[in-house]
């Protein structure tokens, strides 16, 4: 199947489950890890995943990040 079909199906399933997702890229780079760390800090999310489907196995392309669950306000005020 075409990659666009997989992307459409996965997006549909994420929305149906109430999961939030941002973008897809061809290759994971160190900047993507930095972005995830920023998302964890700013949103207070407890868990984020980076998935690289360009691997032989899902396990090989999966990176899991755990946050504190505490949102850091962008204005510097109390959260």
Q: Tell me the per-residue pLDDT of 38-78, one tens digit each, with 9 for 90 and over.
A: 989 998 889 998 888 788 888 888 899 998 888 888 775 55
Residue boundaries of the structural domains of the chain: 22-70
Could you tell me the pTM of the whole model? 0.67
- 3-state SS, residue 32: helix
Q: CB–CB of 54/27 below 8 Å?
A: yes
Q: Which two tokens stand for residue 53?
A: 């489907």
């Amino acid at each position: 199947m075409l990659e666009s079909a997989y992307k459409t199906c996965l997006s549909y399933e994420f929305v149906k489950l109430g999961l939030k997702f941002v973008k897809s890229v061809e290759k994971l780079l160190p900047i993507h890890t930095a972005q995830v760390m920023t998302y964890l800090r700013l949103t207070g999310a407890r868990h984020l995943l980076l998935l690289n489907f360009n691997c032989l196995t899902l396990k090989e392309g999966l990176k899991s990040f755990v946050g504190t669950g505490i949102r850091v306000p962008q204005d510097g005020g109390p959260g």
